[in-house]
Structure 1
Amino acid sequence: MENSSVVFVLLTIATISAISFSNGNIDVLCRESERQALLRFKQDLKDPMNRLSTWDGGDCCSWMGITCDNLTSHVLELRVDFSRLGGKINPSLLDLKYLKYLDLSENNYEGIQIPSFIGSLKSLTHLDLSGFGGKIPHQLGNLSNLHYLNLGDCNFWKVESLQWMSGLSSLQYMEMTGIDLSKAFDWLQVVNIW
Structure 2
Amino acid sequence: MSPDLPAPPIAFEPLPYEARLDARDKAQIDLAVIHCTELPDLAMARRFGEEVLYEGSQTGNCGHFYIDRDGSIHQYVRLERIAHHVRGHNPRAIGIELVNRGRYPDWLAAHHQAMDQPYTPAQVDALIALLRWLSEEVPSLRHIAGHEDLDTTEVPATDDPDVMVRRKLDPGPRFPWQQVLDAIALKRIP
Q: TM-score, normalised by structure 2?
A: 0.32
Choose between structure 1 and 2 for higher RCO, CA contacts under 8 A separated by at least 6 residues.
2
Bigger helix share: 1
Q: TM-score, normalised by structure 1?
A: 0.31
